Structure 1
Amino acid sequence: MIATTETVEILDQCDFVSQFIIQSNVYERFLQAKQALNRDKEAQQLIAAFQQIKEQYEDVQRFGRYHPDYNHIMKSVRAKKREVDMNECVAQYKLAERALQSLLDDISEAIAYSVSPNIKVPRDGLALKDTGGGCGCGSGGGCGCS
């Protein structure tokens, strides 16, 4: 890549935007929530237990309803997921994560629309979804996401 003054200016502006993000209150709250989550022993135990049951869930998914432990594993996964989600540290982390994602989405949108109003900007994954009625996953609607 040949560096031009335009490229250097764009890189300088990218550095400015990244510093803006890093110095923001949103990013600071995200880091604090992440550190609190990493230090919380109960949350880490819940996450580890969820990871174990999730591995069993992935095995069950290969066979679907024909797996002998299908109902038990499905109920266990939902219960563990709820336990993880109800933990205060996990909930605070998820809120901070969503706030940071929203900030990043806003910045991406501002940059994209400054180039052209016709650019599709992924916001919470909505730009990647087909709004014409199909699910877009290629399963023919068999997955139930349509």
Structure 2
Amino acid sequence: MIATMDYVALLDQSEELTKMILGSDVMEAYHHAQKELQADAEAQKLIQAFSSIKEHYEDIQRFGRYHPDYNSIMKEVRRVKREMDMNDKVASFKIAERNLQKLLDDVSQYIANSVSEQIKVPKDGAALSDSGCGCGSGGSCGCAS
């Protein structure tokens, strides 16, 4: 168990690290891109359209290729996503989001390596995936999805 004063010092250092990350240029760029995305009516319309079609997609995923609307929904999902991704505000936000994720990954990796080289650190937000698996296959690998 960590001694009380050591624990308090560790918490103070982690708060300092948090302040440094929150004050970084990467975080500032992320917040700026997020505000611009939220203020752009066209981008919000595209995001809403994608969210709507994604709900239909999730419904047919239960049946897969056997669902009667499978092909049409799959084509529509790709079309709407491509349209959304081509929007300048969406693209800028995604870039800022990836840059922030990289910063957080790098900090996590540095901390883990400071403790031991054997500690595994999730990359690219894998710890935040819905399935609990970072494979990105949507559960087709057999992992917990």
Normalised by the length of structure 1, the TM-score is: 0.84
Q: Shift in Å at residue 68 of structure 1?
A: 1.7
Distance (whole Å) between structure 1 residues aligned to residue 6 and residue 39 of structure 2: 45
Amino acid at match of 1:93: F
Q: Does 2:111 align with 1:107?
A: no
- Count, aligned residues: 134
Partner of 1:83: 83
Offset at residue 122 of structure 1 (A): 1.3
Question: Structure 1 residue 138: deviation in Å?
Answer: 2.6
Other-structure match for 1:50: 50
SS in 1 for 2:120: coil
CA distance in structure 2 between the aligned counterparts of 1:25 and 1:17, rounded to whole angstroms: 14
* Alignment pair present for 1:138 and 2:142: yes
Structure-2 residue corresponding to 1:24: 24
Q: Mark the runs of 5 or more structure 2 residues left unpaired by the alignment.
A: 128-132
Shift of the alpha carbon at 1:129?
A: 5.7
- 3-12 or 73-82: which moved more? 3-12
Distance 1:111 1:103 in 2: 12
Alignment CA distance shift 1:136-1:79 (3 Å): closer
Q: How far apart, CA to CA, are the structure 1 residues paired with 2:140 and 2:118?
A: 21
Give aligned-pair identity as a percent.
56
Most deviating of 117-126 and 13-22 = 117-126
Q: Specify whether residues 81 and 66 from structure 1 end up closer, same or farther in structure 2 by C-alpha distance, changes over 3 A only.
A: same
What are the within-5 Å matches in structure 2 for residues 92-131 of structure 1?
92-124=92-124, 125=126
Aligned-CA RMSD value: 2.4
Distance, in Å, in 1 between the alignment partners of 2:134 and 2:44 is: 33
4+ long deviations beyond 4 Å? none
What one-letter code is carried by the residue in structure 2 that aligns with 1:138? G
